[in-house]
Amino acid sequence: MNDIEKVMAVMEKEIEKRACSPLEFDELGFAADAYHEINSAEKLNEVIRYLLRLDPIEGLNKLLCMNNVYLDQAKRGHEFHRTWTGTGRKKIYRNLKKRIRHLKPDYEGKCYVETVRCFFSMEPDALERCKFTYEGRETYAFQMSDKYILGLFMICESARKSLGEGEIDIRILPVQDYSKTEQQLLLLKNVRDVLFQALLMDDIQLEDGRMYANLYTIYLLK
pLDDT tens, 1-46?
578 888 888 888 888 887 677 888 999 999 989 999 999 999 999 9
| pLDDT exceeds cutoff 90 at 128 | no
Distance between CA 149 and CA 185 in Å, rounded?
A: 26
pLDDT greater at residue 78 or residue 50: 50
In the structure, what pLDDT confidence band is assigned to residue 123 with cuts at 50, 70 and 90?
confident
> pLDDT (tens digit, 9 = 90+) per residue, 109-118?
999 999 999 9
- The pLDDT assigned to 87 comes to 87
- The pLDDT assigned to 213 comes to 93
- The pLDDT assigned to 59 comes to 44
pTM: 0.88
Q: Quickly list H helices, the chain.
A: 3-16, 41-51, 62-65, 86-103, 124-129, 146-164, 180-186
| pLDDT exceeds cutoff 90 at 164 | no
Angle ∠(155,158,168) on CA atoms, nearest 5: 115
- The pLDDT assigned to 18 comes to 74
Distance between CA 92 and CA 85 in Å, rounded?
A: 11
Distance between CA 131 and CA 126 in Å, rounded?
A: 9
Distance between CA 195 and CA 5 in Å, rounded?
A: 27
pLDDT, mean of residues 129-139:
72
pLDDT averaged over every residue in the chain: 85
